[in-house]
A and B are shown apart, each in its own frame.
Chain A
Amino acid sequence: MIPAQFDYVRPAAMHEALQILVDREGDAKILAGGYSLLPLLKLRLASPALLVDIRDIDGLDEIVETTDGLRIGSRSTHRSILENPVVVAGYPLLSDAAGGIGDPQVRNWGTIGGSCAHADPSSDWPAVLIATSASIVLRSTAGERTVPARSFFLDTFQTAIEPTELLTEVIIPRAPRPSGAAYAKLERRAGDFSTVGVAAQLSLGADGRIAAAGIGLTAVAEAPFAATAAEASLIGSEPNEAAFQAAGIAAAAESRPGSDSHGPAEYKRAMVKEMVVRALRSAAGRAQAQR
């Protein structure tokens, strides 16, 4: 399969890239790892006139912990996140999710920014960013703006990114301790896209009850989304099986899966309940370990 023709540029600096996006507004697509974009080009589902390869731009692959939380440069590969010492030590949700994306070659080259900008409705990072109430930083020649992950993923392959903007980093806020988070993915084959993917994060209050909850679902709607009814059902509850089951039922009711090769909608909705329960169990276990 051969992509349609396009021009290719590899700007050396951020300001050059942003100016190109202005000059070629709507014609240009950003190329990072290529593992989302190239398949689209080869299938001719997309045929941009210009690819802007951001490989040479400095500062896009840093992973640093700050007072805001964990800042992950958009060009960070899945593997660089998986193996980052700060992630390994303190962000097991990210390790869970990164380790399940694609296969080793995909993790070597695919990036978190590319995955989010591409916004496949079955991809894993969006659910993680939603569950943790992360922010997504977008830069253009006009400056920088920050969009909450919960209002970033608009529809299938559609995000809040404007054609003149470049996704530069994601910021995952530090959850108040004790807290725990986990990712539960149901897949038909190793390395496949999720049939159902659930990211869950819980923070416990001084009384041991759930003080804050975040649940992001992927692959069971036109876009990844926050299961807000399920989140609300958990607040003030003991982190126990009854609460997790109730949240699972609420999340299943909120999901809008389609029937496809991964299974009928009814099956997927049943699996939402089960995977939410599993993610919450694991998240609660990790939160208890911090008490």
Chain B
Amino acid sequence: MTTQHIELTVNGQVREADVEPRLLLVHLLRDVFEMTGTHIGCDTSNCGACTVLVDGESAKSCTMLAVSAEGRSIKTIEGMADGATLHALQQAFWDQHGLQCGFCTPGMIMQASWLLARNPDPTDMEIREGIAGNLCRCTGYVNIVKAIEQAATELRAPASTDAPAEPAAAS
């Protein structure tokens, strides 16, 4: 089987790999780049655990070929924190107990980041519709919705001097 050379950006860094065309994006991230923050849940595009951003649009990385991601910009859960400072969404999931087992959390946070980029002040129902493609079998979603609300509020607030630079807050 021939492989194809691909180049793409992952969390701001240019990465290259030689891959079989059948390699899925999630396997490229986990097995080739050894970034295991992106989880494989159902592997049938139902559960959303593998959600990443591709050119800013949330995608289920089990349902995209690595070769199709060539030239695109990928953002994963590993790209959210700024050094030791958690992203507002990560901190909010911590504060609000938005996770129990945590398996769905990386996908949930990436999907929430897509939602808040498009809709910085979502209603409860808009949050629920926004994460309709992400399944959590522990929490019943209540604390996840609270966490996303907390993060939305923080990201909308004017940046204070000690807060990490957050471009979304400007909108």
Q: Is B a genuine binding partner of A?
A: yes
Determine whether the beta carbon of B133 is less than 8 Å from that of A7.
Answer: no
Give Cα distance in the complex from A109 to B68, angstroms.
12
Determine whether the beta carbon of A105 is less than 8 Å from that of B22.
Answer: no
Chain B: CB-nearest residue to A77:
B57
Determine whether the beta carbon of A4 is less than 8 Å from that of B22.
Answer: yes
Chain A: CB-nearest residue to B43:
A1
The answer, yes or no, to whether A8 is at the interface (CB within 8 Å) is yes
**Hey, which chain B residues are within 8 Å of A5, CB to CB?**
1, 20-22
Which listed residue, A2, A31, A35, A103, touches B48 by the CB 8 Å rule? A103
Which listed residue, B20, B51, B129, touches A105 by the CB 8 Å rule? B51
The answer, yes or no, to whether A104 is at the interface (CB within 8 Å) is yes
Contact A102:B1 (CB < 8 A) given known A8-B65, A8-B67, A34-B65:
no
Determine whether the beta carbon of B1 is less than 8 Å from that of A109.
Answer: no
Chain A: CB-nearest residue to B128:
A190
Contact A103:B132 (CB < 8 A) given known A34-B63, A34-B65, A109-B57:
yes
Give Cα distance in the complex from A109 to B56, angstroms.
12
Which listed residue, A6, A41, A42, A105, touches B111 by the CB 8 Å rule? A105
Contact A191:B4 (CB < 8 A) given known A39-B44, A39-B63, A104-B114:
no
**Hey, which chain B residues are within 8 Å of A190, CB to CB?**
132
The answer, yes or no, to whether A62 is at the interface (CB within 8 Å) is no
Write out, one digit per residue, whether chain B residues 86-115 have a CB within 8 A of any chain A CB (1) or not (0).
000000000000000000000000010011
Interface size on A, residues (CB 8 A): 28
The answer, yes or no, to whether B130 is at the interface (CB within 8 Å) is yes
The answer, yes or no, to whether B2 is at the interface (CB within 8 Å) is yes
**Hey, which chain B residues are within 8 Å of A176, CB to CB?**
none
Write out, one digit per residue, whether chain B residues 120-147 have a CB within 8 A of any chain A CB (1) or not (0).
0000000001111110000000000000
Give Cα distance in the complex from A105 to B115, angstroms.
11
**Hey, which chain B residues are within 8 Å of A106, CB to CB?**
45, 60, 133
**Hey, which chain B residues are within 8 Å of A13, CB to CB?**
none
B-side interface residues toward A, CB under 8 Å? 1-2, 4, 20-22, 24, 43-45, 48, 51, 57-60, 63-65, 67-68, 70, 111, 114-115, 129-134
A-side interface residues toward B, CB under 8 Å? 1-8, 10, 31, 34-35, 38-39, 41-42, 51, 53, 55, 102-106, 108-109, 190-191
